[in-house]
Amino acid sequence: MHVEHIIPDAGDDLNNLCLSCPTCNLSKAKATSAIDPETDEEVSLFNPRQQDWNSHFEWSEGGKIITGKTPVGRATVLRLKMNQLRVVEARSIWIIAGVHPPD
C-alpha cells in the first residue's frame, strides 16, 4: 500500500493522508477531480476522510468490480482505474479465500 495525499501539496497532516493501492495512487497523481463518464461533468474525487464509501460505491459481480453510484463514485472509479484487470483478478482470489468483499 502507498500513503496517498488526498489533496496534493496540502501537507502531511493525518487528515490529508490515506492508504491507497499502487495502481490507484499512481493513477490519481495530483488530481483532485475527474470527469463523470455518465454526465461528462467534472466532479471532485472521492475523499475517504470526509465521505462515506457506501454512499458512492458498491460491489458488483460478487465483489470483483467496484461500481460508482454517484458522479463522484463513477469519476473516481474511472480516474483511479479501480477495476484494472490485475486488481479484479486479485479480488477474485480474495473472494475464494473468503476475505473479500469487506463488510
What is the structure's pLDDT at 67?
98
What is the structure's pLDDT at 98?
96
Q: Read out DSSP for 9-36?
A: TS-S-GGGEEEE-HHHHHHHTT-SEEE-
The predicted-structure confidence for 12-59, as pLDDT tens digits, reads as follows 999 999 999 898 899 999 999 999 999 999 999 999 999 999 999 999
What is the structure's pLDDT at 103?
76
Q: Are 17 and 3 in contact (CB under 8 A)?
A: yes
The predicted-structure confidence for 63-84, as pLDDT tens digits, reads as follows 999 999 999 999 999 999 999 9
Which residues lie closer than 8 Å to 103 by C-beta, 6 or more apart? none
